[in-house]
Amino acid sequence: MSAIEAINRVQEIEQLIGRLQAGVSATSTAADDFSAALSNTFSVVADTGVTTGTTGQDIVDDARKYLGVPYVFGGTTTSGMDCSGLVQTVLRDEGISAGRLVHDQATLGTPVASLKDAQPGDLIVLKNNEHIVIYAGNGKVIHAPHAGTVVKEVSNWLTDSDIETIRRVAPGRSPATASVGAANASALTAAQVTQLLGSIQSSMLAGMSGGSGVGSTSALLSLLTGSPR
């Protein structure tokens, strides 16, 4: 969401809150418009195709549900799965669309420079797209190795020279703050959304009890950008 879009959204929300505070019925079009405005404001999806609700740790936790599933070439179910089948299944569980084969998954998300920068949930693709594993953190990976084995979590044996690419398809537990005030479009963090929702709720309650109501556009925008009021 760009700065201009954020300003427009905030102004729209202010106007709709004002109409609700003036006594418009909750069943009216204004209430529906207000709900739609909030939905539009907070339905922020990163360019990588990953929703802001999924974290890297979520991916790891989901992958651990499949530990012990037998390796089956081409498989994508609990009856059996291969390395890319495991990745596709886990990402699908988390609402992330991914191709079936390793070479498709090797282009997901954003690149990570090296193993030392890897975070839980990152996908590690071996040279020539021969294999893919999920980094679990603390020097561990989760993968479906080969026929005759099962999905397992093991110590990482890879070095940077073994790796074609590392892909980040979801942020860690604490996503870095994205600045809406930047020249390019950025996504809102969960913390910013929560803070803004709290401000809107407080403003509505203040207005209904005879208080001053919602603050200025710049005050609300500061919650989005993290800039001082």
Q: How is residue 171 written in tokens? A: 């942020």
Angle at 192 (CA atoms; ends 55, 15), nearest 5 degrees: 135
Whether 155 sits among the annotated catalytic residues: the reply is no
Marked catalytic residue, from 121, 136, 143, 151: 143
Whether 143 sits among the annotated catalytic residues: the reply is yes
Marked catalytic residue, from 131, 133, 135, 214: 131
Rounded CA-CA distance 179/197 in Å is: 18
HSE-up of 226 (CA within 13 Å, CB side)? Answer: 14
Whether 146 sits among the annotated catalytic residues: the reply is no
Q: Contact 162/133 with Cβ under 8 angstroms?
A: no
Rounded CA-CA distance 15/13 in Å is: 5
Marked catalytic residue, from 37, 83, 106, 112: 83
> Which residues are known catalytic residues?
83, 131, 143
